[in-house]
Amino acid sequence: MVMTAIPFTKMNGCGNDFIIIDNRTRYVRESDLSNFARTICTKNFAIGADGLLLLDDSEIYDFKMRLFNPDGSEGEMCGNGARCIALFAFTNGIAPKTMAFETKAGKVDAHIIEPTKVRITLPEIIKSQEIHTGTISGQDGNFSYQYSSLFLGVPHCVIFLPEKIPTIKLFTIGREIRFNNKYFPKGINVNFVEIMGNNSLFVHTYERGVEQVTLACGTGSASSAVVAASKHLITSPVTVQTQGGTLIVDFLQNATYIQAISLQGAVNVVAQGTYYPSSFNSNLIHLDEDGR
Q: Which residues are catalytic?
A: 78, 217
SS3 at position 22? strand
- Crossing angle of helices 218-230 and 79-91, rounded to 10°: 130
What is the torsional sign of CA 78, 120, 229, 266?
A: positive
Residue type, 80: N
CA separation for the pair 43, 98 (Å, rounded): 34
For 213, phi then psi, to 5°, come to -80, 110
The residue among 226, 235, 236, 144 whose CA lies nearest residue 193 is: 226
Residue type, 64: K
The residue among 71, 80, 61 whose CA lies nearest residue 20 is: 80
CA separation for the pair 177, 179 (Å, rounded): 5
H/E element, 128: helix 127-130
